[in-house]
Structure 1
Amino acid sequence: MAAPSQVIRSYGDVDGIRDNVVHLNPGAGGELVSSSIEFVGTGNVLHVEDGAKLRNTRLRFLGNDSVIHLRRSARYTEVVATLFHESVLYLGPGSSFTSAARFIPSERRHVIVGSDAMFSSRVAFRTADPHLVYSAHDHRRVNPSRSVWVGDHVWLGEDTLFLKGARVGSGSILGARAVVTKEIPSNTSAGGVPARVIGTDVFWTRPSVHAWTQDQTDRGASHPGDEFLFASDADTLDVDALEKELDRAATSAERAAWCERLDALTSKNRFCIGR
């Protein structure tokens, strides 16, 4: 018999959750607005950093032993996520959302997003196709599920879709309606279906120009800093090794501990690709 559904709609509901682990406190400035968290399975871990502001967020654990790890931002976090068995959704600190981003980590694969991500409207992630595709020659499956990794300070354009195996290096820009299926190096712009690199050696900053005066436009014609340029160095992480470590985790507690270790790996160039 399936486990009964348990739902959190306010901070006061947290104490009523059974057979799952929940860290969800308002902290300083935390909010839970028009949001819900549903547990159908057991052994899952939800960790929301104290002070995080959730709005229009719907988190669903429809299986067992999965982990959602959400870091705090000064802005509202807006996430719609469905997890099944033994998957991880990790969202780093400082993200912003124009509307709720959608995540479906499934078949024991994961979605990992670094810090300072800028989500435009209707961004979506999937780690599975999800239906089975086989070779007509040997009848072997040809579409295994794969995790999705996005580095730090990445601009995710409107309607961007990240499919299984997508990897994006820090500092990059994904154009509107891009479908990302492969590796995108750091400090590049990419777009199209499937997404391909269309610009190299670029970086972006957060100010929006929509309401700028001529004076602001003039002052924004150049940016003196290089804080958003990334380069591979001794602190750049081996993502394949990190994922193998995550795959070796046998329990949700071990997956949650992996997320906490990733929190501590804060070097600028940790998610640099190809520079």
Structure 2
Amino acid sequence: MSTVSTRQTIRSYADVAGIRDNVVHLRESAGSAFDASSVTFDGTGNVLVVEDGARLRNTRLRFMGNGSVVYLRRSARFTEVIATVFHESVLYLGPGCSFTSPARFLPTERKHVIVGADAMFSSRVTFRTADPHLVYSVHDHRRVNASRSVWIGDHVWLGEDSLFLKGARVGSGSILGARAVVTKQVPSNASAGGVPAKVIGTDVFWTRPSVHGWTQEQTDRGASFDGDDFVYARDDDVVDAEALEKELDQATSAAERRAWCERLDALTGKNRFYVGP
């Protein structure tokens, strides 16, 4: 018996008008781009929001279930994302992020990947919220590997080949070394590396200029940085990530999940994603 495919695909801005049973905000606007990119829907009731002016390149978004949200803020740089999103999961990418190559996201089992503003993605960065196969205790036969969301703060440097697994939470201003496998909490203004990742430095911050082509004069000027722009601390703006996620998990539709993302946009305090004492 033959079956009729319900797959819908966007390969250009013009294709958006033909999408049915899913909500798409993806439109050509000042500064925008949709180069070598596609969006595929294999489900219904999903929401895709790409902020006006976003520049997508080498991006492939695939909705494999129903009721999910992909919410991408714009950047002056190209956004490069390969994401497969399943039922009722959320991928939120904050403004101002940069990519050396496409980052891979796999939010599944109704868990989420939340990335704050100004993240710097090195090559081949990957996120997974599930293992994904089931693991049980031999003593009581209960599952021991529940899926969990991943939270990344603002202005985080994600090193080459770094991997963020279920339950990872990284505070603003931190640095993850190349090939780090992150499974737990990394505080703000820390550096972490290894398998599994461990904190190897504290009370540090980083800035974006690349030193590869620097002259001696530039190196001398870069020996110090005047300002606390990227130093984070606890204050009244710090969000309760667990409470926020509980609100998200109580959402019953993609429209409500989209509204949650919009509320996250409104939390603009510098220290909102601080992690630490």
| TM-score, length-scaled by structure 2 | 0.98
Q: 1:123 & 1:89 partners in 2: Cα distance?
A: 15
Amino acid at match of 2:153: G
Alignment of 1:1-275 (within 5 A): 4-275=6-277
Task: Name the count of aligned residue pairs.
Answer: 275
CA deviation map 1:2-29 (0-9, x unaligned) = 8611000000000000000000012210
Q: 2:45 & 2:14 partners in 1: Cα distance?
A: 21
Q: 1:25 & 1:215 partners in 2: Cα distance?
A: 44
SS in 2 for 1:82: strand
CA deviation map 1:65-115 (0-9, x unaligned) = 000000000000000000110000000000000000000000000000000
SS in 2 for 1:102: strand
CA deviation map 1:116-150 (0-9, x unaligned) = 00000000000000000000000000000000000
Residues 102 and 207 of structure 1: CA distance in aligned 2, closer, same or farther (over 3 Å): same
Runs of 4+ in structure 1 off by over 3 angstroms are none
SS in 1 for 2:82: strand
Q: 1:48 & 1:3 partners in 2: Cα distance?
A: 26
Q: Shift of the alpha carbon at 1:166?
A: 0.1
CA deviation map 1:209-252 (0-9, x unaligned) = 00000000000000011010000101100000000000000000
Q: 2:5 & 2:261 partners in 1: Cα distance?
A: 26
Q: 1:81 & 1:3 partners in 2: Cα distance?
A: 21
Unaligned stretches of 5+ in structure 2? none
Amino acid at match of 2:135: V
Q: Shift of the alpha carbon at 1:32?
A: 0.2
Q: 1:235 & 1:127 partners in 2: Cα distance?
A: 27
Unaligned stretches of 5+ in structure 1? none
Q: 2:5 & 2:156 partners in 1: Cα distance?
A: 38
What's the % identity of the aligned pairs? 76
Q: 2:5 & 2:251 partners in 1: Cα distance?
A: 23
Amino acid at match of 1:75: R
Kept in 2, the 8 Å contact 1:124–1:161? The answer is yes
SS in 1 for 2:56: strand
Kept in 2, the 8 Å contact 1:3–1:41? The answer is no
SS in 2 for 1:46: strand
Q: 1:64 & 1:200 partners in 2: Cα distance?
A: 41
